[in-house]
């Protein structure tokens, strides 16, 4: 296997992009990545695109061909592959792109993610389609409801509180202030979260990531090729995907994210490092409780102590484990299929020293992208 580097990063603005179509959003991110990598465009040999639900959000399937076309890559017949794994679509697209370069099949490829969500009136049911429709959604559970049951059990078993969860939201909003691409560049207070309406008790509106349009693009190259284009390659030391039972009810313990645990263990082994060697993290905070459970399941703390990390400020920029300097899904935005690529892009910017006012000093970074309630997990470790 060859070493694989990220040589270009691009991202559209995330948010309610009323004036931009699906293609506009993708091209704005892609153009930025191509320029960042100093490519002309024709060097691209393949593209992998994470997209959760083009069919339901914009009634467009065959997303792969559409994007190749509007990226100017259909004219040179570049193969294009759309990847779907719920809101882990981006992470899985990145893994597939990585494999295509590591294996020696391709030298330069695009790993992208894109979603246009706001063209439908009510996106909630489509967002919820990552849960088991027959045995979770039918009895009336929602994605928020399932995470709420994890939160309720954590509070019961370990003494965490709604304030602890609110502090995660507050932290992510604070970080997003310094991210020009973020959807919400404004601070909120714990009280704002606590007084927002319940969606599924004990989770509230401001515990949840928003509805967002957006696209994110990375350009990957083999090590030798990467050196020709950039002096600051960031290497993907490992990227591992893992699965768990789709429905919470099938899991032995709903607070244990076994897909995440397995992927983290393998990813650290492949990257030949320990969790303590990683200095910056992007975690999948589709809900605040997801971020807190990731602290525990990734191994930043012991099981049942996630809320203590929040209380002690360890997950802030400047803390021992800075999580979501971008603002995370909560405040940077959650453009579903784009999220896994967006997280990886943030880690690359951080490791290159290009993260501006939200810069964290780190040698290694980790991104954790999950689908639904954790039935898919993608964990990647990057090094500068």
Partner 1 sequence: MLPRFWRKIRYRYNLIGTECTNCGKKFYPPRNLCPECRRKSRISEVELGEEGTVISYTVIHDASEPYKLQKPYVVGLVKLNSGPTVTSQIVCDPESVEIGMRVRAVFRKYGEDGEDGIIYYGTKFEPLNAGEME
Binding stretches for partner 1 (CB under 8 A): 122, 124-125, 128, 134-142, 144-145, 148-150, 152-153, 156, 197-203, 245, 247-250, 254
Q: Which is nearer to partner 1, 193 or 273 (CB)?
A: 193
- Nearest distance in Å: CB 39, partner 1: 44
The two tokens of residue 242 are 């893992």
Q: Which is nearer to partner 1, 161 or 250 (CB)?
A: 250
- Nearest distance in Å: CB 198, partner 1: 5
Q: Which is nearer to partner 1, 18 or 122 (CB)?
A: 122
- Nearest distance in Å: CB 172, partner 1: 21
The 3-state secondary structure of 127-156, one letter per residue:
HHHHCCHHHHHCCCCCHHHHHHHHHHHHHH
Q: Which is nearer to partner 1, 224 or 253 (CB)?
A: 253
Q: Which is nearer to partner 1, 152 or 384 (CB)?
A: 152
- Nearest distance in Å: CB 203, partner 1: 8
- Nearest distance in Å: CB 148, partner 1: 4
Residues with Cβ within 8 Å of residue 246, at least 6 apart in sequence: 131, 132, 372, 375
- Nearest distance in Å: CB 170, partner 1: 21
Helices 258-270 and 288-298: angle between axes, nearest 10 degrees: 50
- In the chain the first and final C-alpha atoms are separated, in Å, by 19
Q: Which is nearer to partner 1, 128 or 316 (CB)?
A: 128
- Nearest distance in Å: CB 380, partner 1: 27
DSSP 299-325: TSS-TT-HHHHHHTTTTSTTSSS-B-T
What's the rounded Cα separation, in Å, for the pair 321 and 138? 39
What's the rounded Cα separation, in Å, for the pair 223 and 225? 6
- Nearest distance in Å: CB 95, partner 1: 23
Q: Which is nearer to partner 1, 137 or 308 (CB)?
A: 137
Q: Which is nearer to partner 1, 187 or 201 (CB)?
A: 201
Query: Would you say 357 and 178 are in contact if contact means Cβ atoms under 8 Å apart?
Result: yes
What backbone torsions phi and psi does residue 323 show, to the nearest 5 degrees?
-115, 130
Please list the alpha-helical segments (H only) found in the chain. Answer: 22-37, 54-57, 63-70, 89-102, 124-127, 143-158, 162-176, 190-194, 223-229, 258-270, 288-298, 306-311, 328-331, 339-352
Residues with Cβ within 8 Å of residue 285, at least 6 apart in sequence: 168, 172, 209, 291, 294, 324, 328, 329, 330
């Amino acid at each position: 296997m060859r070493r694989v580097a990220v040589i270009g990063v691009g991202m559209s603005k995330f948010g309610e992009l009323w004036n931009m179509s699906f293609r506009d959003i993708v091209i704005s991110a892609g153009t930025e990545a191509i320029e960042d990598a100093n490519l002309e465009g024709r060097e691209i040999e393949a593209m992998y695109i994470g997209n959760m639900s083009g069919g339901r959000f914009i009634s467009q399937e065959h997303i792969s061909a559409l994007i190749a076309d509007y990226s100017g890559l259909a004219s040179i017949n570049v193969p294009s592959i759309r990847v779907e794994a719920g809101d882990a679509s981006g992470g899985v697209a990145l893994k597939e792109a990585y494999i295509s370069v590591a294996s020696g099949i391709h030298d330069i490829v695009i790993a992208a993610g894109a979603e246009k969500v706001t063209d439908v009136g009510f996106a909630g049911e489509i967002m919820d389609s990552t849960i088991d429709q027959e045995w979770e959604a039918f009895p009336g559970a929602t994605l928020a409801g399932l995470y709420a049951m994890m939160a309720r059990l954590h509070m019961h078993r370990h003494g965490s509180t709604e304030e602890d969860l609110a502090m995660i939201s507050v932290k992510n909003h604070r970080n997003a202030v310094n991210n020009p691409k973020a959807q919400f560049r404004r601070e909120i207070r714990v009280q704002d979260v606590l007084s927002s309406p319940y969606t599924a008790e004990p989770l509230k509106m401001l515990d949840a990531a928003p509805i967002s349009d957006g696209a994110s693009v990375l350009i990957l190259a083999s090590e030798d090729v990467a050196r020709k284009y950039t002096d600051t390659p960031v290497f993907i030391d490992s990227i591992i995907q893992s699965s768990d039972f789709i429905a919470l009810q099938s899991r032995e313990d709903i607070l244990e994210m076994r897909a995440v645990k397995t992927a983290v263990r393998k990813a650290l082994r492949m990257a030949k490092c320990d969790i303590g060697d990683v200095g910056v993290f992007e975690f999948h905070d589709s809900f605040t409780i997801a971020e807190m459970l990731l602290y525990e399941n990734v191994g930043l703390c012991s099981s049942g102590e996630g809320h203590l990390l929040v209380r002690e400020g360890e997950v802030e920029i400047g803390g021992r484990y800075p999580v979501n300097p971008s603002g995370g899904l909560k405040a940077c935005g959650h453009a579903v299929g784009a999220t896994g690529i967006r997280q990886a892009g943030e880690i690359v910017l951080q490791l290159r020293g290009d993260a501006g006012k939200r810069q964290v000093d780190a040698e290694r970074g980790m991104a954790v992208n999950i689908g639904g309630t954790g039935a898919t997990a993608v964990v990647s470790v990057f090094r500068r």
